[in-house]
Every structure is written in C-alpha cells, then in structure tokens.
C-alpha cells in the first residue's frame, strides 16, 4: 500500500516529464531480515502495474531476481509484461531444492534466457538491457572493482546475449 501511494504521487509527474519508471523485482524474492517482499511474482506485478495503470509505471524485468522464485515462469511473464517492461537485467541463477540460489553463467542457469529474449523481441519494442553480474575471467580477479560485476565476465555475458538476440532476429527474418 505504501508503494501504491508512492506511485500515485510520482507517476503523474513522470507522465508530465515523459519519463518511464520501472521497479526492480525483490532480490531475493523472499522475506529477508523481517522485510516483506513486494515484487516477487506475477500477482505482485499485477498489483503494482494496476495500482497506477499508466505506461509510465513499468517494470525492470530481472531474470535473476524473478528466476530465483521457482514458481515464476519467466518466458510467460516476459510475454505477459513486455508492454510494460522498460529495462531488462539479464542474468541467470541456479536454484537448489532448499530455496537457495546462486549466480550462473548467463546461458547456463535454470532460466530459459533465449525464450525470455524471444518474448521481449516479439513485443516489438526497443527494450534496453544489460547483462547483470558475471563470472570472473582472465584478469577480472586482479581488478579492484565492484564485487559481482567483473568487466571481462560481463562482456562475455553481453556477447552471449547479443549472439542469442542476433540468432533470434535471423530466425524471424529480421536479419539478412
């Protein structure tokens, strides 16, 4: 309800300015340290997008955060919400039966990233994205940077994702 009140106040200003807001899903998608989660599944997303039904009120589609919830069908969710996705964080996780999860390579975790990308492409919108997180490769370990965001590992993820997108576009007849 607090977030709904927040949206009711800021979305009209975003509309006036031609801005698009996009909420990032909870990470992790379960209560932690007593803090409830508000964006972890389709029911939550439906509530928040309906709270202020405006194109300015959108979603960051984070395949890692949403993918950590075993109940979420990411390709179906991507199809369902693509019209309100304003940004995509593309990463992958590998889930354990006890509910824990860990980062995985962009194309090697539990999420069907090519199917998610296809769903987003089929929306016919130019949705900005970035690979999120990555594995330490080559001299990443020697770089004193932000943990979990290695330069070479993220570039590998970007190359993989761009390759999948190019392949999907080719299959759709969009590339020569």
Q: State the sign of the Cα–Cα–Cα–Cα dihedral 103, 105, 111, 114.
A: positive
The 10 Å Cβ neighbour count of residue 149 is 14
φ/ψ of residue 89, rounded to 5: -100, 115
Which one from 89, 106, 112, 140 is the annotated catalytic residue? 89
Which one from 62, 81, 106, 112 is the annotated catalytic residue? 62
Peptide bond into 46 cis (omega under 30): no
The verdict on whether 132 is a catalytic residue reads yes
The verdict on whether 83 is a catalytic residue reads no
Which one from 26, 44, 112, 132 is the annotated catalytic residue? 132
The verdict on whether 86 is a catalytic residue reads no
Q: Are 99 and 92 in contact (CB under 8 A)?
A: no
The size of the chain, in residues, is: 176
The verdict on whether 106 is a catalytic residue reads no
Q: Which of 44, 38, 32 is nearest to 101 (CA)?
A: 32
Tell me the C-alpha distance between 169 and 31, whole Å: 39
Peptide bond into 102 cis (omega under 30): no
Which one from 26, 44, 86, 133 is the annotated catalytic residue? 133
Strand partners, 94: 102
Question: Which residues are the active-site residues?
Answer: 24, 62, 89, 132-133, 149
């Amino acid at each position: 309800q607090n977030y709904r009140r927040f949206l009711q106040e800021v979305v009209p200003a975003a509309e006036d300015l031609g801005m698009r807001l996009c909420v990032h899903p909870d990470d992790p998608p379960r209560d932690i340290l007593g803090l409830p989660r508000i964006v972890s599944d389709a029911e939550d997303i439906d509530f928040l997008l309906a709270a202020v039904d405006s194109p300015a009120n959108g979603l960051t589609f984070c395949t890692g955060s949403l993918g950590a919830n075993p109940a979420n069908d990411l390709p179906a969710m991507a199809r369902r919400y693509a019209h309100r996705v304003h940004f995509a964080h593309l990463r992958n996780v590998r889930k354990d039966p006890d509910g824990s999860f860990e980062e995985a390579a962009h194309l090697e975790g539990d999420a069907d990233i090519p199917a998610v990308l296809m769903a987003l492409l089929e929306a016919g919108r130019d949705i900005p994205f970035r690979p999120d997180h990555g594995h330490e490769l080559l001299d990443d370990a020697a770089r004193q940077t932000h943990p979990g965001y290695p330069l070479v590992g993220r570039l590998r993820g970007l190359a993989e994702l761009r390759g999948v997108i190019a392949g999907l576009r080719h299959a759709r007849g969009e590339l020569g």
